[in-house]
A = this chain, B = another copy of it.
């Protein structure tokens, strides 16, 4: 059972100061623009944001960073051609950056959702990003220990939700959505449509409803093609 929220503010109502917010998306594909707009209208400050990138242009995640309410960002690729907002905050020392190789970032999020206490990864061994991390040789190869990244809230973009909360995604907009949905206390999905339970073939469900708490319909924006106007289809 999921709650279909009327707007992003309702979906984000329990966001607290100091919360860790997992934000889906890779560049703009899979970025939950509507939820990020809602976040602009929340008061919560001192946030930690976990997302692959650190925003670009002046909308979406960049607009959230611009409010100054994000204390720290954990990501793999903050620097983009138009990551002006992050670049400025970083150079001014106004935002903390934890840089994580993309696959370690994904696996740390998955580990949180899967109840894994930590894992040994070969990625980053011998590089500056392994500084301070435990190194262990297993079966002749060196690995570093990485720990899970848990979220208080996950904000993701999906395609279709059914009323049981099952989700499907569109193409490479899937990216971090399915793993972030498993790793947060509350998962909110911005979707193009809500259909009755049973309307998604059980074989094709990507995120089972157990990982989803709330959905909001996407509002059309000029920026993202995936943010087409949503519709709530007739339910049984």
B-binding residues in A (CB < 8 A): 107, 111, 114-122, 136, 138-139, 141, 143, 147, 168-171, 201-204, 206
Residue of B nearest to A121 (CB): B116
Q: Which of A114, A117, A143, A201 has the most CB of B within 10 A?
A: A117
A136–B117 CB distance below 8 A:
yes
Q: Which of B117, B119, B136, B168 contacts A122 (CB 8 A)?
A: B117
B115–A122 CB distance below 8 A:
yes
Q: Which residues of B contact A201 (CB under 8 A)?
A: 204
Q: Which residues of B contact A204 (CB under 8 A)?
A: 201, 203-204
A118–B120 CB distance below 8 A:
yes
Min CB distance, A134 to chain B, in Å?
Answer: 10
Q: Which residues of B contact A143 (CB under 8 A)?
A: 117-118
B117–A141 CB distance below 8 A:
yes
